[in-house]
């Protein structure tokens, strides 16, 4: 069921990114979804499906260089390191991760535009607005996807433990009666 969930969310994120890109909004939704699912144990599946879908999105944009081959492995590595460093919940933490991912996406877009056109026009959008879009959309994406995952009885991003804990821990109830979801 988890693989169906991941596939569905990545496809919808890619379609929404294409629709918003057609309206002139550079929102890296597929990159953020790859980061969101990159903290789970299914990260190899997420990486290859994300690269495939990202390649399709970038080919629809007509880009000569497929940035997803660089950005998505970095997002997976950042997600794995992010989980290793501590808790994944909290709007500030998620917003900070969104800024980092948005800045990486904006920097790659700026370098691609310089490579293709020999100019750095649109740098304000690439380096300033894309991190802001990432900071706003990653916490929102985490809230919506965590709510849906809770309704589907799947693991949630905000309930993952630190990566430093043992892999095989008891799945039970804690003091407050909430489920503990360890990866």
In the predicted structure, residue 119 carries a pLDDT above the cut 80:
no
Do residues 167 and 41 lie in contact, with contact meaning Cβ atoms separated by under 8 Å? Answer: no
Cross-strand pairs, 179: 173
Per-residue CA distances from 50 to 32, 68, 70, 89, 163 (Å): 10, 8, 12, 23, 22
**Cβ-contact 75, 83 below 8 angstroms:** no
Enter the pTM of the model: 0.81
Residue 24: pLDDT band with limits 50, 70, 90: confident
Looking at residue 104, its pLDDT comes to 92
Most confident of 5-9, 130-134, 159-163: 5-9
CA distance 95 to 101: 10
End-to-end alpha-carbon separation of the chain, Å? 15
Higher pLDDT, 132 or 111: 132
Please say whether the beta carbons of 13 and 29 come within 8 A: yes
Number of H helices, E strands in the chain: 7, 0
């Amino acid at each position: 069921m988890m693989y169906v969930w991941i596939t569905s969310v990545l496809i919808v994120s890619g379609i929404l990114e294409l629709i918003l890109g057609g309206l002139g909004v550079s929102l890296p939704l597929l990159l953020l979804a790859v980061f969101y699912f990159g903290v789970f144990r299914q990260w190899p599946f997420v990486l290859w499906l994300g690269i495939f879908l990202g390649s399709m999105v970038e080919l629809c944009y007509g880009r000569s260089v497929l940035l997803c081959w660089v950005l998505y492995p970095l997002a997976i590595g950042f997600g794995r390191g992010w989980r290793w460093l501590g808790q994944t919940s909290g709007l500030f933490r998620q917003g900070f991760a969104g800024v980092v991912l948005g800045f990486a996406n904006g920097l790659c877009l700026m370098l691609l535009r310089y490579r293709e056109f020999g100019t750095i026009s649109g740098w304000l959008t690439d380096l300033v607005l894309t991190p802001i879009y990432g900071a706003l959309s990653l916490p929102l994406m985490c809230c919506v996807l965590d709510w849906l995952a809770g309704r589907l009885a799947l693991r949630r991003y905000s309930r993952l433990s630190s990566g430093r804990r043992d892999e095989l821990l008891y799945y039970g109830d804690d003091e407050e009666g909430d489920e503990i979801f360890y990866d």
